[in-house]
Amino acid sequence: MEVGVELLIGTDIIEIERIKDLLDNGIKEKFSARVFTPEEVKYCESKGASRYQSYAARFAGKEAVSKAFGTGIGENALFNEIEILNDQNGKPLVILHGRAKKYYEGLGASGISISLSHCREYAVAYVTITK
């Protein structure tokens, strides 16, 4: 690593059942619109029975990005301004919009990396922002 490079780190873990409950309790559209982009919904819904794991991993990813920002979700980033998609090889990547993008640029950051994982009960995300 270069001398003078700073890493901003964020991590989050969530119970998949919590996301499943939010999606299945009749407020799916409202919750989805507030938290996920249309492309994220399309991806997660394409996963069939494992869609809840995909939604939960992306939720954890958004929280992890906001923690790497050092601000959490709110003033500098909303959930749907942090988009987590996959490249052609399936590797997750972060795309920032609106205030989240502006805040990221204001940090003088040069890169953002994310890792997502899940098991039956939990989803976890780990984010590094290079500054």
Instruction: Using alpha carbons, list the distances in angstroms from residue 113 to 92, 120, 131.
Output: 8, 24, 12
**Is 63 annotated in some ligand binding site?**
yes
To the nearest 10°, the Cα dihedral for 46, 47, 53, 59?
A: -20
**Is 105 annotated in some ligand binding site?**
no
Beta bridge partners of 127: 10, 114
Which residues are the active-site residues? Answer: 67, 118
Q: Phi and psi at residue 113, in whole multiples of 5°?
A: -125, 150
Q: Where are the alpha helices (DSSP H) in the chain?
A: 16-24, 28-35, 38-45, 51-69, 98-106
Q: How far apart are CA 84 and CA 57, in angstroms?
A: 9
Q: Which residues are annotated as a binding site?
A: 12, 63
Q: Which residues are annotated as a binding site for Mg(2+)?
A: 12, 63
